[in-house]
Amino acid sequence: MFLILAIVALVTLYFYGTRTFDYWKKKGIKHDKPLPIFGTNLKQFMQKASICNMATETYKKYPEEKVVGFYRGTAPELVIRDPEIIKRILTTDFQYFHSRGLNPHKTVIEPLLKNIFFADGDLWRLIRQRFTPAFSTGKLKAMFHIITDRAAKLQIITEEVVDREYYDVRELMARYTTDFIGVCAFGIDMDSLTDENSHFRKLGKRIFERRFRDAVAGALKIMFPELFKNMHLLAPELEENMKVLVQSVLKNRNYKPSGRNDFIDLMLELRQKGKIIGESIEKKNPDGTPKIVDLEMDDALMTAQAFVFFGAGFETSSTASSYTLHQLAFHPEYQRKVQQEIDTVLAKHNNKITYDAVKEMKYLEMAFYESMRMYPSVGYLIRMLCVPEYTFPELNLTINQDVKVLIPIQAIHRDEKYFRDPNNFDPERFSDGTKEDIKNFVYLPFGEGPRSCVGARLGQMQSMAGLAAVLQKFSVEPAACSVKEPLPDPAGIVSEGFIGGLPLKITRRVKS
């Protein structure tokens, strides 16, 4: 009897785990042969490759195709290889692809994932509508003194690791960005720069650390979304720590804006104004006009926004800035040009790193853009079809609601069709007169369209200020253990990391 039940269970599991595998075959779309339950995503489920790695691998396997089929578990997805189709998804036909679909179960969303990055539909639209003004030029200038203070502190800390055999610049820049985010988001001196083992640095690391529990939870929610819809992707300690952190700040301010003009103040001001009201992106009246929807900025929603601001704010910026240092270490000719520009610009600004000074550092910006091309902090974009069906006119291909499309940014950035010598670090491809030759929708480090990164300018400014602070007084060079092409972390989910960090040798500059 037990044997019969086991056989029935296995057969049922097999049919469940293969029921969708004719989707791309019927539509004539090339794809790898899927495995039952795992689809073509086994390596990512096993933490042998990140989502970005899998997207890049799929992109490279089919160089003549505009799109390639993929199965994440049993769910069919479409990897996009054509810039015109990318433009259609991100901008032209955005109204059909406004969801990211990052929550495995659409109706049961865990508290911390109700944020501007993970949220979909009206929840996303209302949050985005109110948060966009927080990253205006005026707001950036108003908070730049925080960046200036942290950049000066970064120089002091860098002095302490000078002339060691090596130091992980990935960790150095993460401590800097964590400290900055702590002040501008929460008004808290997180002390991550002076104490690399600070509570907040540990919290930041845990957000992007993939432990066994996290890998299993993620895989189960994708493969069996209905069965595990109440299981949380995020570890319980993350939820608890973020809730305690935000509640302590709110209580300290008596639940009212404090005048610090930081991220918590912004949300408290939004709450004082009452419900966020706007036009629905999902629901329509009988006459076809959008329904009016509203959203209350309660404590749980504030905590979710603080979570993504804290996590994404330090992780993406520290990855981008440390990889820029890594490339400059291996290309001293470009490092010298960057340093000469920093010296020239800062001489006009009393040797102080200010908003206007950083805006003048065009060669540094070119180096930063080139680093983001070679190793974008977020190596892919994902969107989900939100209407019953959609036809790509370029392909005469119709896909159905809830099918996700994956845009492999890192693979496109390294495609020789779009970038000459794509594996060669060359900041001057972003110089005036040359950058105009870059085809639209093949350089997407911050995304594009209505769901592009809302904090892109803030992230770039803090990254460039940190780079200027380090390179003003120090030089970087490869250490004995440095690897020119660092290995990507296969456990990466949203942001890309490196196995073993980015060790470099840091020396004091000797100015002639």
Q: Which amino acid is at 307?
A: F
Encoding tokens for residue 24? 């791309």
> What is the number of other CB atoms lying within 10 angstroms of the CB of residue 352?
10
What is the DSSP code (8-state) at residue 484? S
Measure the CA dihedral 208/212/215/218, to 10°.
-100
Encoding tokens for residue 47? 């933490």
CA distance 190 to 179: 5
CA distance 432 to 339: 20
CA distance 109 to 230: 8
Tell me if 453 is assigned to a ligand binding site. Answer: yes
Encoding tokens for residue 61? 């396997």
The closest of 448, 285, 288, 321 to 381, measured between CA atoms, is 448
Residue 421 region by backbone torsions, left for phi larger than 0, else alpha for psi between -120 and 50, else beta: left
Do residues 467 and 342 make contact, with C-beta atoms less than 8 angstroms apart?
Answer: no
CA distance 396 to 7: 42
DSSP-assigned states of every residue in 85-133: HHHIIIIITGGGS-B---SSSSS---GGG-STTT--HHHHHHHHHHHGG
Q: Where are the alpha helices (DSSP H) in 254-348?
A: 263-272, 299-330, 332-347
Encoding tokens for residue 86? 């990318």
Judged by DSSP in three states, 425 sits in coil
Residue 467's Cβ-count burial label (10 Å; 0-12, 13-18, 19+) is buried
Q: Which amino acid is at 297?
A: M
CA distance 210 to 493: 8
CA distance 218 to 214: 6
Strands 404-407 and 75-80: parallel
Encoding tokens for residue 364? 């540094």
Annotated binding site: 453
Annotated binding site for heme: 453
